[in-house]
Amino acid sequence: MESVNKFKNKILLGDCEEILKSVDDNYVNLIFTSPPYADQRKNTYGGIRPDDYVDWFLPKSEEMLRVLRPEGTFILNIKERVVDGERHTYVFDLIKAMKRQGWYWTEEFIWHKKNSHPGK
């Protein structure tokens, strides 16, 4: 029972790569993450260039995959980057890299945000 209550009703603040190291394998039923978008919030997150995004995210997703139960659910809220009217491929590149890491890509949901145009 101690293992079950280890994180019950607790908020853990910190770098997810470090915090997840303290979580047992196959422990979590749901992971919902909304990591910084590429080249956004440079003052807050330092800004991750689209070309560097996959390499930046994969160590985090590796830890998430380790702690997620086999029947668990992973939800990634991510925004594509549009420059001069063209979408960058980093989201697709990330999906393919995560599949190689062992993830299953089963669904895609699009959030139709009416008060914003693509890339904003």
What CATH number does residue 50 fall under?
Answer: 3.40.50.150
3-class SS at 25?
Answer: coil
Question: Is the predicted pLDDT of residue 100 greater than 60, yes or no?
Answer: yes
| Number of domains, the chain | 1
Cα–Cα distance measured from residue 100 to residue 94, given in angstroms and rounded to the nearest whole number? 10
User: Is 107 domain-assigned?
Assistant: no
Question: Is the predicted pLDDT of residue 74 greater than 70, yes or no?
Answer: yes
pLDDT for res 115: 73
List, in order, residues 6 or more apart from 110 with CB less than 8 Å away: none
pLDDT for res 85: 86
User: Is 32 domain-assigned?
Assistant: yes
User: Is 68 domain-assigned?
Assistant: yes
Q: What is the mean pLDDT of residues 73-96?
A: 90
- pLDDT tier for residue 45 given thresholds of 50, 70 and 90: low
Q: What is the dihedral of CA 25, 27, 31, 37, to 10 degrees?
A: -30
User: Is 34 domain-assigned?
Assistant: yes
Closest of 105, 101, 81 to residue 91, by C-alpha: 81
Range of the domain at 63: 13-101
Instruction: Choose from 2-6, 23-27, 42-46 the range with maximum mean pLDDT.
Output: 23-27
